[in-house]
Amino acid sequence: MDLVSLLRARRLLAIVRGRRAEAALDTVRTLADEGVTLIEVSLTSHRALDVITRAREELGVQVLLGVGTVVTAQDARDAHAAGAQFAVTPGLGDGVEQARSLGMSTLVGALTPSEVIAAQAAGADAVKLFPASATGGPGYLRTLRAPFPQVPFVPVGGVDTRTGRSYLNGGATAIGVGSPLIGDAADGGDLSLLRERARAYLRLAEEPGR
């Protein structure tokens, strides 16, 4: 799986965190039904690994499923065993090396230039700019891309439709969106509102040019 090519093509990574496993699974199903086909389920979700396993069985290969908040080597092993195709980390740690050794693609969290260099050295397929909301916004990404023009960046953290457009126009490979997209759906909230938000983000991701 070429994660970077998929990020470039789809430009939207949905991040699911929820307090109820069934609701989180319904959220994944709804996103997939609306055409969001690059989805991360955070390990902070209730029974996250069960959600991934069941979603993989139901959705097949048309939806790319990853596990987020991978910190330790055991996290990576658990994610791989559950059927995740890629691992997302909040930063550098043992989970990155273990995920790579298992053949998983990695989206590695970094914020500073030194962390970006370390993420590249660790073999990250792409860099998760996190927390993006702490950087001053899209302007920071443009500044960071000057010394790292070839690095695929995915801003995560407080990315709404307005800042998402600015990040994509500023050179982000894709945007990672959690609560502004998911809302309370993964806790048992309204799935019809999730559908509306998914359509809005998909329209944004499909806008031509940058």
Positions marked active-site: 40, 128
DSSP conformation letters of 51-87: HHHHHHHHHGGGSEEEEE---SHHHHHHHHHHT-SEE
Query: Which tokens belong to 210?
Result: 């940058």
Amino acid letter at 191?
A: L
48 alpha-carbon distance from chain centroid: 15
Which sign does the torsion angle of CA 190, 195, 198, 200 carry? negative
CA distance 73 to 57: 24
Query: Which tokens belong to 188?
Result: 């048992």
> What are the phi and psi torsion angles at 193 (to 5°)?
-70, -35
Which H or E run contains 177? strand 175-177
CB 77 within 8 A of CB 58: no
CA distance 172 to 184: 26
